Amino acid sequence: MALRAPETILGLPLDHGIDIWTFGCLVYEFLTGNALFPVPNCSAVPQSRVDNDHLLQMHDTLGRLPEILCKK
């Protein structure tokens, strides 16, 4: 779950960019031993909250997300 691209979380059209995103997250995890965007794996937490927290982590790490993602 921690490898999901923002487009996947928001239900936007998918393209080769999500593969690049996932590869980058994997490389980071292999090099550091930590997930770049760790998300809880708990069934007691609603999926919408997990998705929102995941997007907030991306925003906090990368800065403002592209406008098309913010509108969604």
Summarize pLDDT for 17-56 with one digit per residue, the tens: 999 999 999 999 999 999 898 877 767 778 888 888 888 8
Stronger pLDDT, 60 or 42, i.e. the higher one: 60
pLDDT of 42: 65
pLDDT of 48: 81
pLDDT of 23: 95
Token duo for residue 12 = 């936007």
pTM reported for the whole predicted model: 0.79
Cα separation, 51 vs 59, in Å, equals 12
Q: How far does CA 41 lie from the centroid of its chain?
A: 14
